[in-house]
Amino acid sequence: MKILMLLANPFKPDDRVNNEAQSLIKAGYQVKILAWDRELALPKKSRQKGLEIERFRLKSTYNSKAIIIPMIIFEIWLFFKILTEKFDFLHFHDFDTLVPGFWAGKIKGKKIIYDSHEDYGGAAEEFMPKWAVKLIHSLENFMTKHICGLVTPHPILIHRFKTVPAKALVMNCKVLSRNFEDQEKVKKLKEKLGLGHKFILMFTGAITRHRLVLETVKMLEKKPIKDLVFFMLGWSIDQSGEKVAKLADGKNIIYHPAVSLAELPLWLQIGDLNHCYQNPQNPNYKIAIPNKLFDAMTAKKPTIVAAATACAPIVKNSQSGFVLKYGDTAQLRKTLLRAIKNRAKIKKLGENGRQAVEKEYNWEEMAKRLVEMYEVLNEN
């Protein structure tokens, strides 16, 4: 049985998509991914570990109004490309690929699976007008009434799409076999970066105005905390990120370009505590459970998350970090000061996180759920 996956990023690879594809290949399925290379940096066709990848190469931005025309062109290519492919299941990732995937899949009479990574309409509020956001929600609600399977990392979305016959809650957990413990490499990297024995508050990922990064930088720039370094490993997608880059002094506040997924486990080890705030006032961030939460838990690193978000109960129940009010930098400062003085507690919180992923939040458990859903669809 062959699965055709649709993806609106270059697949460098995308960690979640790669884990799903490899799990399905291991279960005996053939998988091909149609992706969009917006950076023109990867080959048009390639294979890796039994996975076939074909990329549409058209330069574009990500989160801005300038994406609209390139997105339409990509979706037209995707629609006609699907019609020429041979497959049994059509598995599309996020709303970016839902419209062409849905109609092409219906024309070919194939079983359709929607992989909803996030509240796409909520995320689009940052750069699209209200009418476009409403249109996204309307199209998504209509089309998901006529599909056979749903995969999502969010319990809230499982309940939102009530009419889908087969569902699987597949969170963005990590593969436990990855090596997070090479301490000699960690030591050399810290020496190279000049971090010494400083306490490292680590941020990884995209810097946006909804993640309290700029506010944290301003707080630390105004009044530095002795022996603490705020290390940001990421990239900017709005003006807050540009301001952060200007304020970074390279000593107490460091802004470093993002590294590859393969390198990330090593870089996570240089941190002591992870900064993972998300603004609960944003509809998407309120329900989002980002990769970096499970990255940190797997790497035995405790995490700071915002109250009233989907991350909060995971951190609270596993006792793997701190749940603080979003926007309260005074509370954050007090937490950091206590953390520096009690590194034994920080280590214990990190160990709690690792125990939680070994017991529940690991990819091996998620893979079972995904494969079981496909087995149900095979029988129907």
> pLDDT tens digits, residue range 13-35?
888 999 999 999 999 999 999 99
Write the DSSP assignment of 1-16 as a string of letters.
-EEEEE-SS--S--HH
Q: Give the per-residue pLDDT at 13.
A: 86
Give the three-state DSSP class for 334.
Answer: helix
Q: How many CB atoms lie within 10 A of CB 8?
A: 25
Distance CA 292, CA 314 (A): 13
CATH 3.40.50.2000: does it fit domain 2-173+362-379? yes
Q: Does the pLDDT at position 154 exceed 70?
A: yes
Token pair of 154, please?
């969010």
Question: What is the percent of the chain with per-residue pLDDT over 70, rounded to a whole number?
Answer: 96
Please list the alpha-helical segments (H only) found in the chain: 15-26, 68-84, 98-108, 120-124, 130-143, 155-160, 183-193, 213-222, 239-247, 264-268, 283-287, 291-298, 311-318, 329-341, 343-359, 363-379
Give the three-state DSSP class for 298.
Answer: helix
Distance CA 165, CA 145 (A): 9
- Percent of the chain as helix, strand, coil, to the nearest 5: 45, 20, 35
Nearest CA-CA partner of 278 in 267, 268, 265, 287: 287
Residue 30: beta bridge partners?
2
Which pLDDT band, with edges at 50, 70 and 90, does 122 fall under?
Answer: low
For residue 269, the one-letter residue type is: Q
**pLDDT tens, position by position, 243-264:** 999 999 989 999 999 888 788 8
Cβ atoms of 267 and 233 closer than 8 Å = yes
For the segment 4-12, the average pLDDT, to the nearest whole number, is 94
CA angle, corner 99, sides to 95 and 101, nearest 5?
100
Q: Does the pLDDT at position 194 exceed 70?
A: yes
Which pLDDT band, with edges at 50, 70 and 90, does 306 fall under?
Answer: very high
Which pLDDT band, with edges at 50, 70 and 90, does 126 fall under?
Answer: low
Distance CA 11, CA 21 (A): 12
Q: Give the per-residue pLDDT at 158.
A: 87
Give me the chain's average pLDDT, please: 92
Instruction: Please tell me the pTM assigned to this model.
Output: 0.83
Cβ atoms of 380 and 148 closer than 8 Å = yes
For the segment 88-94, the average pLDDT, to the nearest whole number, is 96
Token pair of 56, please?
């549409």
Q: Does the pLDDT at position 147 exceed 90?
A: yes
Distance CA 333, CA 186 (A): 26
Nearest CA-CA partner of 30 in 14, 11, 50, 13: 50
Nearest CA-CA partner of 44 in 8, 10, 5: 10
Q: Looking at domain 183-359, which of 3.40.50.620, 3.30.200.20, 3.40.50.2000, 3.20.20.70 is its CATH number?
A: 3.40.50.2000
Distance CA 314, CA 335 (A): 19
Q: Give the per-residue pLDDT at 131.
A: 81
Where, residue-wise, is CATH 3.40.50.2000 in the chain? 2-173+362-379, 183-359
Distance CA 220, CA 251 (A): 12
For the segment 287-291, the average pLDDT, to the nearest whole number, is 86
Q: How many CB atoms lie within 10 A of CB 106?
A: 14
Distance CA 110, CA 89 (A): 6
Q: Does the pLDDT at position 302 exceed 60?
A: yes
Q: Indicate the Cα dihedral angle 168, 171, 175, 180, nearest 10°.
A: -170
